[in-house]
Chain A
Amino acid sequence: MPCAEREALTGLITTLIVALLFIWRLSVLHDAGLFAGPEALQVWARSVLLLVAISLGIAIMVTILFHIGYEVVTGEKTDDRRDERDHLIERRALTWAWYLLSFGILGVIIDLALGATAFRAMNLILGLCAVSEIFKDGFKLWLYRRGA
């Protein structure tokens, strides 16, 4: 498995873990009533910033563990080489993920115009970021597997 494909797989695993962590933590805070007051967005933003920092740690850990595990299980030496096909797949996946995010944000703006709260909009944007990231890595893996 080439380096870029492994990165897509670790990216996908990381994003799924982080997304679940975000959902769990924000749900707990929501149920505790911390997002109910006038400073709800500030509390939300602080919580998200903390989760982003934790996510970076998770990403580093998953990447290291996956690379070590992959080498141990398959016996393949890590090849960090990237070529034109990797760049092509990266560009295509990024482009489609960008479309998804752009149209999603447009949808959130429409939702806001129809009366949704800013709190709901921010959560939707956060969710969209996770979905577009999952889509990007999933699409990359699909392109690698089908032989783009």
Chain B
Amino acid sequence: MALSARGLTVPHIENRIRRLRFDADEMTQKDLADRVGVTRQTILAIENGKYAPTLDLAFRIARTFGVPLDEVFTFHDD
């Protein structure tokens, strides 16, 4: 369960980054990190659902894969 609005685990937001990386010629986390200007550890934390990126970073990730934002991140209202 999320303990605060930002920074802790974010179970309601899922992402398909791993799948999208695989589809994009098996792009590595490092490659993606370099393209969007963050560290590999941040990509890892996002993929594992342990960090919710800012809108700015979320859009940059989506743009890197050439897909709309909601194809990368989905929000589950449960």
Contact = CB atoms under 8 A, between A and B. Distances in A.
Which size bracket describes the interface of A in this complex? Answer: 10 to 19
A86 B45 contact: no
A46 interface: no
Nearest to A147: B50
A39 interface: no
Interface residues of B, number: 19
B42 A85 contact: yes
B15 interface: no
Secondary structure class of chain A's binding surface, majority of residues:
helix
Contact of A148 (B37, B51, B57): B51
Contacts of A88: 6-7
Interface in B26-78: 37-42, 44-45, 48, 50-51, 53-54, 56-57
A2 B37 CA distance: 13
A2 B40 CA distance: 8
B38 A144 contact: no
A32 to B, nearest CB: 48
Interface in A36-61: none
A24 B12 CA distance: 51
Nearest to A2: B39
A84 interface: yes
Contact of A83 (B8, B38, B44): B38
Contacts of B41: 1-2, 5, 85, 144
Interface string A73-110: 00000010111111011001000000000000000000
A83 B45 contact: no
A85 B6 contact: no
23 contacts: A1-B41, A81-B39, A82-B39, A83-B38, A83-B39, A83-B42, A84-B38, A84-B42, A84-B53, A84-B54, A84-B56, A85-B39, A85-B42, A86-B39, A88-B7, A92-B7, A144-B41, A146-B50, A147-B44, A147-B48, A147-B50, A148-B8, A148-B50
Interface of B: 6-9, 37-42, 44-45, 48, 50-51, 53-54, 56-57
